[in-house]
Amino acid sequence: MASGKGSNLEAILEASKKGMCPVNVALVLSNREKAGALAIARREGITACFINPADFPDRESFDLACMEAIIKSNAEWVILAGYMRILTPTFVDRFRNRIVNIHPSLLPAFPGAHAVSDALEYGVKMTGVTVHLVDEVLDGGPILAQEAVPVEEGDTVETLHARIQSCEHRLYPATIARLMEKPFRLDGRRVIWE
Ligand code: GRF
Give the whole-angstrom CA distance, residue 29 versus residue 191. 27
Is the Cβ–Cβ distance between 2 and 30 less than 8 Å? yes
pLDDT at 167: 98
Which atom of ligand 1 is found nearest the CA of 116?
Answer: 2
pLDDT at 101: 98
Distances (CA, A) of 130 to 3, 8, 43: 18, 13, 28
Nearest CA to ligand 1 atom 5: 82
Kindly report the pTM of this predicted structure: 0.97
Which atom of ligand 1 is found nearest the CA of 11?
Answer: 13
pLDDT at 42: 98
pLDDT at 162: 98
Q: Give the pLDDT means over successive 10-residue stretches in the chain (194 positions).
A: 98 98 97 98 98 98 98 98 97 98 98 98 98 96 98 98 98 98 95 94
Active site residues: 103
Nearest CA to ligand 1 atom 10: 82
Q: Which residues contact 40 (CB under 8 A, 6 or more apart)?
A: 6, 9, 10, 13, 28
pLDDT at 38: 98
**Residues in the ligand 1 pocket, defined by CB under 6 Å:** 2, 4-8, 81-82, 102-104, 165, 168
Between helix 157-181 and helix 115-122 the angle, nearest 10°, is 120
Give the whole-angstrom CA distance, residue 133 versus residue 98. 7
Tell me the per-residue pLDDT of 14-40, one tens digit each, with 9 for 90 and over.
999 999 999 999 999 999 999 999 999
pLDDT at 50: 98
Which atom of ligand 1 is found nearest the CA of 4?
Answer: 12
Nearest CA to ligand 1 atom 14: 7
Is the Cβ–Cβ distance between 77 and 179 less than 8 Å? yes
